[in-house]
Amino acid sequence: MKALRKFLDKKKPLFEKGGKYAKLQSTFEAFETFLFVPDITSKTGTHIKDAIDLKRTMSVVVLALFPALLFGMYNVGYQHFRSAGELAATGMFDLFLYGLIKVLPIIVVSYVVGLGIEFAFAQMRGHKVNEGFLVSGMLIPLIMPVEAPLWMVAVATAFAVVIGKEVFGGTGMNIWNPALVARAFFFFAYPSKMSGDAVWIADKADTFSGATPLAHAAALVGAKGEAATSIIEQHLSNTWDMFVGLIPGSIGETSTIAILIGALILIATGIGSWRIIVSVFAGGFVMGTLFNLLGSNSYMTLIPAWQHLVMGGFAFGAVFMATDPVSGTQTTRGKYIYGFLIGFLAVLIRVLNAGFPEAMMLAILLMNTFAPLIDHFVVQGNIKRRLKRVKVTA
């Protein structure tokens, strides 16, 4: 550690004003503060004191993503060998290794492209490099199908960083979650690689159906009586698999357990808002129950409300996407409203629009857009209430 510190101190003057590499100052600064907590403290005004800065915050989120990531890698292998019919003959380590080899390139592409653009913009504008991409760069691979071509991942990431973030002024200024912008871009630009049955399992055997539970559920819309119950029995009865995550889907979204572990880390460290997470689940459950009671087709009536919460990207979105402190609401009451509407809309879109089986992305992006409005009305309401109190006592 000391040697590293010494090395940095020795090189530092080169990057300061007048130094040989002064132009690369922000790049140097980014690495230095990544390795060591900066020793600069503010000198004027009142500031909140906390031991944790933005880089450390981001690292905790990345840590919280690891269970989902590791399980995702295992599941990639699991799904591949299951489709090939060689599941029994393959050891657990081999499953994981296969997944690792498949997933790692996507992660590398996401980070290289995203950080590359981030550094370039910081350099051009003379800003400090933003830390935000540390998390986005990990989120993007986790919400991609494993068969996503790398160049498409690169294009989607570039779009997300430039249009989702840099246009608005970088980390902290964006109105949408950049990772979801990447996914939305991917979904609309290259639908054949982001939906359907073929992309969720790596090197799927042709005879094997790779449909996700959501795709099976969507097939219920037109099915009646016998046909509907047979779909449920064949594909949707094994809730345990859905909960553990042994189902086809985007890399990191399948395992509700792994996501909940991440949620615990986020809540324990106070980084993710439990209010948002809980109310997203509540919203999804309420909408699901409404469908159960009033539904007019098999999808609405036969899928129990709680099953919506473990299918597809619902849990992942609730824990890692909706809680994004930048694009979400800030006020306490706003968080409940925002979260509830995300869950509510996600299930609504999912069931009513067959074109968007994975509605979590759209629901969160929509509510991201409305988050400032919700905050505005919560604050206004608060002001009004307090003004009334003033009148009574005066």
Taking the complex as a whole, how short is the minimal distance between the CB of residue 155 and other proteins, in angstroms? 8
Spatial neighbors of 312 by CB under 8 A, at least 6 apart, are 212, 213, 214, 249, 253, 350, 357, 358, 360
Taking the complex as a whole, how short is the minimal distance between the CB of residue 345 and other proteins, in angstroms? 19
Taking the complex as a whole, how short is the minimal distance between the CB of residue 188 and other proteins, in angstroms? 4
Of 9 and 203, the one with the shorter C-beta distance to other proteins is 203
Taking the complex as a whole, how short is the minimal distance between the CB of residue 251 and other proteins, in angstroms? 20
Taking the complex as a whole, how short is the minimal distance between the CB of residue 192 and other proteins, in angstroms? 7
Taking the complex as a whole, how short is the minimal distance between the CB of residue 159 and other proteins, in angstroms? 9
Q: What are the b/e assignments for 195-220, b being 16+ CB within 10 Å?
A: beeebbbbebeeebebbbbbbbbbbb
By the 8 A CB rule, do 228 and 302 touch? yes
Of 54 and 150, the one with the shorter C-beta distance to other proteins is 150
Closest CA to 339 of 391, 297, 305, 374: 374
Closest CA to 314 of 188, 177, 171, 214: 214
Name the site residues for other proteins (rule: CB under 8 A): 149, 151-152, 155, 163, 167, 185, 188-193
Rounded Cα distance, 76 and 291, in Å: 32
Of 85 and 191, the one with the shorter C-beta distance to other proteins is 191
Of 191 and 222, the one with the shorter C-beta distance to other proteins is 191
Burial of 29 (0-12, 13-18, 19+ CB in 10 A): middle
Of 184 and 287, the one with the shorter C-beta distance to other proteins is 184
Rounded Cα distance, 235 and 220, in Å: 11
Of 36 and 151, the one with the shorter C-beta distance to other proteins is 151
**Residue whose token pair is 């159960």:** 292
